[in-house]
Chain A
């Protein structure tokens, strides 16, 4: 039997180890999410990232070495963004029917998300690098990372902020919209998808089918609008 450290140092040099760890951590996160009844605060991505962070720290593995393996999963973010064309195309009849309320809510919701976040963070003394990572935080992760890269923000910091935003939106949406006495499921879902992307959309599907469908449309449309809006808005604050 060979020495454990010898086997470890061999495995740690191949992409296989950290690719496997990424999938296993996500499987554990997803199992935990289902075990607590799919509560939005028990987000599988946050659990998986937390687990992997602890493993990287315990094994003194640099993030770059981890990413050598994890990049194969990360790469799929691009094709996943392109794939959002399919649900948008399937919903084209709905998009045409409810075009006016959607366009108005998209412009208002998207601008509110970007501008209020940047204004508040800048007023509280956030650094320019943090502002660049914060600007696209309401867009779905693959798009947000692409936007942050173009703005000179850190994609990994953006990923963390995007997930925090999604969890926040998923947790506050139902009590907030009930307090506003809004009963239009289309309005409720669309706004949540715009503000809190895929995590908000998943939450909306738990609450109501119509809300979920409109959240998905809101998420996809906001991804495109944020790509246009975030660079302009960031220019106002730096």
Chain B
């Protein structure tokens, strides 16, 4: 568990350092994700070592959003004043994105003879 957490934090730290040093537009943890995948490819045994800690964190992913979501208290004015653009944008874009994504996936799978197994 300690080794796994250290690996996760090291990857995040490397990602943050790389993002700052190279001025990349990606958040540090996303670069950390890429760095950890590269590390798995280089050292396949690392994946099994990190897995239990990663699964524990990901199983409680929802809990981690609560502090930021409680920040709704600071945005009630904005959410009230801009309710129409915000709710319309979220509803329409989510419906469109699901429909487009699923239709494109199914069409390309059919075109390349890739069947649902």
Which A residues fall within an 8 A CB radius of B? 22-23, 25-26, 30, 44-46, 48-49, 52-53, 56-57, 63, 66-67, 70-71, 73-74, 76-90, 97-98, 100-102, 104-106, 108-110, 112-114, 116-118, 120-122, 124-127, 129-130, 134, 137-138, 140-143, 145-147, 149-150, 154-165, 168-169, 172-173, 176-177, 180, 182-188, 190-192, 194-196, 198-199, 202, 210, 218, 220, 223-224, 227-228, 231
Q: How far is the CB of B114 from chain A (nearest CB, A)?
A: 6
Chain B residues within an 8 Å CB radius of A159 = 65, 68-69, 71
Given A83-B57, A121-B88, A142-B64, A177-B98 contact (CB < 8 Å)? yes
Contact between B67 and A121, CB atoms less than 8 A apart: no
Q: How far is the CB of A47 from chain B (nearest CB, A)?
A: 10
Contact between B85 and A120, CB atoms less than 8 A apart: yes
A164 and B92 alpha carbons, distance in the complex (Å): 12
User: Would you give the 0/1 interface string for B61-102, flagging 1 where the beta carbon is closer than 8 Å to chain A?
Assistant: 111111111111111001100101111111111111111111
Which B residues fall within an 8 A CB radius of A? 5, 8-9, 11-12, 15, 25-30, 32-34, 36-37, 40, 47, 50-51, 53-55, 57-58, 61-75, 78-79, 82, 84-106, 108-109, 112, 114, 116
Q: How far is the CB of B26 from chain A (nearest CB, A)?
A: 5
8 contacts between A and B (CB under 8 A): A25-B66, A45-B62, A46-B69, A63-B71, A89-B37, A105-B104, A113-B94, A187-B106
A81 and B30 alpha carbons, distance in the complex (Å): 7
A116 and B27 alpha carbons, distance in the complex (Å): 23
A32 and B95 alpha carbons, distance in the complex (Å): 27
A101 and B109 alpha carbons, distance in the complex (Å): 5
Given A109-B101, A116-B93, A23-B63 contact (CB < 8 Å)? yes
Interface residues of A, dominant DSSP: helix
A110 and B67 alpha carbons, distance in the complex (Å): 26
Extra 6 A-B pairs, beta carbons < 8 Å, given A81-B33, A156-B75, A185-B116: A63-B74, A83-B57, A109-B104, A114-B93, A161-B86, A172-B98
Given A126-B86, A142-B29, A228-B25, A45-B65 contact (CB < 8 Å)? yes
Q: How far is the CB of B63 from chain A (nearest CB, A)?
A: 5
Contact between A182 and B109, CB atoms less than 8 A apart: no
Contact partner of B73 (CB less than 8 A), chosen from A53, A130, A137, A180, is A53
Contact between B72 and A156, CB atoms less than 8 A apart: yes
Contact between B114 and A98, CB atoms less than 8 A apart: yes
Q: How far is the CB of A217 from chain B (nearest CB, A)?
A: 11
Which of B75, B93, B98, B99 lies at the interface centre, i.e. has the most chain A CB atoms within 10 A of its CB? B98
Chain A residues within an 8 Å CB radius of B97 = 109-110, 112-113, 116, 138, 191, 194-195
Contact between B70 and A49, CB atoms less than 8 A apart: yes
Given A101-B109, A101-B114, A154-B72 contact (CB < 8 Å)? no
A176 and B95 alpha carbons, distance in the complex (Å): 8
Q: How far is the CB of B25 from chain A (nearest CB, A)?
A: 5
The chain A residue sitting closest to B72, CB to CB, is: A160
Contact between A172 and B73, CB atoms less than 8 A apart: no
Q: How far is the CB of A123 from chain B (nearest CB, A)?
A: 8
Contact partner of A82 (CB less than 8 A), chosen from B29, B90, B102, is B29
